[in-house]
Structure 1
Amino acid sequence: MASTSYAATEEMTNINRASRLLMGPCTDQLRDLLRHYIPPASFPAVINRWRFQLPHLTVPQRNLILPNSGMYIGTYEDMDITLLYILLRNVCGIQAQNKGWGNTPDSADRSVSANIERLRLARNQCGHSTGGMSKIDFNLVWSEIRATVVDLDKVLGINYEKEVDFVRCDTMDPMMEQQYRDQLLDQMKEIVNITKTIDSLKKNEYKKDTFQQWKEEDKLFVPTKASEKIETLIENNNLVIVSGHSGSGKSTIIQHIGLVYLKRGWVVFPVDRVEEIREIYVTGKFREKETIFIFNDPIGKESLDDILFTTWKTNEHMLTLFLERVKMLLSCRTCVLDDARVRGLLKDNLKSNSIVIDGNQCKLSNDEKRKIFKKHVPNEDTTEEELAEILQTETYFPLLCKLFSKKPYSSNYAINFFKEPFEVVKMEIENYRVSHKPKYCALVCLVLFNNKLCYDDLEVHVQLFERCLKICEISIHPNTIIKQLDTLKGIFVKKIGGTYYFYHDFLMEVTTFVLGMDNPRETIRYADVSFLRKRIRLANTENKNEFTIYVEDEHIDVLVERFFKEIFEDRFIEVVLNPCLRNTNVIEHLKEKLQQNSVALQKSMIKRNMKLQLEESEHTVKRHFFPGLTF
């Protein structure tokens, strides 16, 4: 009796047909696109000129285009879709699409780079669809690929559209199906290996640069009774929480202790996200009883961050188990830990395993303040009376000493600086805005790029960079922004590796305040949506904070417009959690906007459901075949 147990299903035929399209006509079209930008005869010279700017290549890729034995002598037919994407992105001078290379483009963006991205994303989707592809998903993917091919045909003057239609109607030979499917899966495995190598190199480099930054700052470290208590506490416990107000020295102390353990030969992990700890736990890349994590602001900075806190709670069981084998030293602002929603592991350890460094028992004494001030400004010519007035400062004292040492002021100005740091820094930024626009623009870029900026970010996220320039009413090259950030090192910014950050949250908060008060509408339109969730509030909000940007009712229209736009993007959850959505006027305006665009909203929800299904399939593949790796 004939068996149908192993007969081809419609779903598997769909995924194999899509694989055939991508491995066949789409790859050939990308080869012709490479010929369009770089004629084969010019390729050896071009690739040799760009060899040091290329991202990490696999050994076969490097041997193909940069052979040790001499010049490239192959043909474009030797290149697969992965290598073609790398070359088109990095050596052809193709302008990045609006969302930047490596990101999902807007549906309205039909640029060359946006269409190259669509083929890459379709390849990834097919590679991760291990169980086949439904008819609905297949039709959507096919339509997207076909539209992309038609767009690229217009650039090339070649008709690949007919090849797409031929593959759609042609019969599928079982051996041919498997061949195309195997090719696609081989490429996906190659991508995973590349990603693993790149991630490892980046993490090691970042860790090395972070330790170097810590060592530079540690040269001015002054032991205090608070730091000594924390050292004793972490010796005897696996979790210690260091709390205090902004600028009180929390990070400085836990970094110092991290360096102490590094000298002892321990494995020290500076981490920014709880997911990093989970990855280390899952992969087992730690030494039991000789590993310590240094973690600043795990659940929020200015206030409890709903997304970060949810992630922490999700991983709390893992953290509890892991803390039996490693140590963890956390810093957190007091106002965040005081939030009534904080429960579980953090709350349980607040009484016995925490130090409030600016509380009554551990706050800096005048003697400790004097030592810190003299360590940072050894040659400052202040009288005892002036110094006594400076030592009365409670808020931000350790931070202000650092900042004062980097930017010398006269003695009279020093007193004002320590008494009114917000006003002094605000005036400095406002002076940049008027008299040193490139410096001001560099700080604006750092704010709108979410406090993490390197040269490549300015090149890739062209649209966001242009918005920064528009806000500052200036036209300058990305190189100028980087040069200006270099002039601000130690004053406003710090540099770890090739990436710039604000020197301290306080400086970002003041810069953000100046930007938002001067340009509320532009800030709402262009700032990252997570920035809006954390920083923007309506003027009638209770419990106001001096660093928050408060906007009037007249700005509700632009706020609703931004929320509406983001609902159709990947950051939907940031809109849902935005505190401004608690305002009745905002809710009513947004409801009205959604009702006027109900058809577009329905289409968006269908796409989002498909994306969630894809992410779930990716998660399954990673869990079963590639644990611990990132696609």
Structure 2
Amino acid sequence: MFLKLDMKVSPVSASTSSCVYKPAITAKYPSTKETTNYARICRVVVDVIPDVFRQLLFSWLPVSGLTSVLINQRDQIFNLLNNQQKKIIYPRGGMFQGTTKDFDISLLYILLRNLGNIQPHRKGWGQVPDKADRSLSANIERLRIQRNDAYGHAKSASLSDVDFQARWTDIRQSIEDLQNGGHIKGEVVAAMNNIETMRMDPSTESNFIALVKEMEGEIGDIKDQMTTDRDNVRGEIGDIKDLMTIDRDTVRGEIGDIKDLMTIDRDTVRGEIGDIKDQMTIDRDTVRGRDPKLKALIETTRLTTIDQTSKPEVISTQALEDAKEMIRKNSIVLIKGASGDGKTLMGYQLLKWLMDGDNKDTRPSKDPVQLHSMAKWDKIVKPNTQLAVYIDDISWEIAEELKKREVSIQSTFCGKLNNRSNCLILNVREEIFKSTQLSSCELFKQNIIDLRGKNCITITEKQLMLERYVPEIITFPGGKESEIIKLAPDIGFPQCCRLYRDVPSLQKEGVNFFKQPFHFMETTLKKLPKEHFSALLFLFLNEGSVKKGDLDPKNNESVRQGKA
């Protein structure tokens, strides 16, 4: 199946089961960047997403074909359809004779999830999928939601650049996943790229926007069902004389529609009728009145969190569960440990949990914000703003600033986790904690996860982690695996596993590396060229960071600071 997109033609016509779309009459339509943004989304909703769904339906149907499946599985899907959809698929006195071009997105979605034998995503059909879930069903769900969202913006008929980019990226990534996974054919992604850059005059814009506005017939199915033409009403309410002669399926479909109206499939209600919830949560940043810079910071942290927590070596530990429980009770946690103990990753795992929830919690729905200094703290951190603030690897300066703000932190973060509360996640090296005022601060002392103490990694967790980092470790002779997991190296066990995996020379040392990691790291460093070693020394003296001025050979400020 090919995706037909003629970029040179302005008049547009398409059809769905609920109405026939006709080119809108050109009117006085103010064309702006925002209306063009919305029109581009509309074109994708009208042309691209239905074609994607049709391809998926064909690829997942049994070889017997669509008509055969509709007949054989009538009992399974009949009560899931609205009146218009029933007329199309199960016309009176015959069988379906049309093509999938007669199906709107709503009907295609129902058929895909009920006839295609497609595994539901982790949250289940009809629910908003996890961002990290790139499965077939999750991407189908995203496209359905984007179609509903497009109709939700029909009254204003405009989208800001920020909203457009977010929606466009979501749609494009979903379609790209489907294309790369071999679920759909053709150059669908290329077609989207063309739509993103094509010239759209006011007439073209108004046509596509009109098409999406007409989707009220698809999305507002209750209204359609209550305002069906009089002949339909007679047929659905039924004449008493006909009750004794109509076959059983017709009784279900045409007399029992009052019941259908009240018991329409929950997912259809959520996705196509009950979009009040969707409309209230379409853009959490807009609802919460986020500053654009804060929104950008949230999105950066969100993407980083997903990237860090989706790696194959990531495991859940008892320490992580203890940290979650601490946040549930106090909305704050300080993770303390040595270098390489996994403090940073645990912080991202907690952010991911606060974004999406887990089996024990409904979705906390916090917006993640990672701060690398205290410069933005006072502008960003306010009470009851539903933020999850994360500061990784606290420096001496940050520790002192946090101590100064102890009272405000207590009022802004402390308390049981709830829908409006903020959460604070800190991690600090043990030596920084002991040498700063953090160690004397009761607020932090009461909310510590100690990765070198009571919350240290267990033998079972070490074994799982080692096998994730180095799968071939299980083939080592002489029980080397069990010997390694019993060791307590000076640097953190996760870091040892990572170094062992990434540095071939360390793999030759085997168990000996885990016994004395510092010794072998020193040996490896000595083999570096002199200029490389000098660069590492410079980083060490500058606490791991390089500023723009440091790269200027005429700037001696950093040298003077190092001597001081």
Common fold by TM > 0.5: no
Identify the TM-score tier after normalising by the shorter chain.
0.3 to 0.5
More helix as a share of residues: 1
Q: TM-score under structure 2 normalisation?
A: 0.40
TM-score with structure 1 length normalisation?
Answer: 0.36
Larger radius of gyration: 2
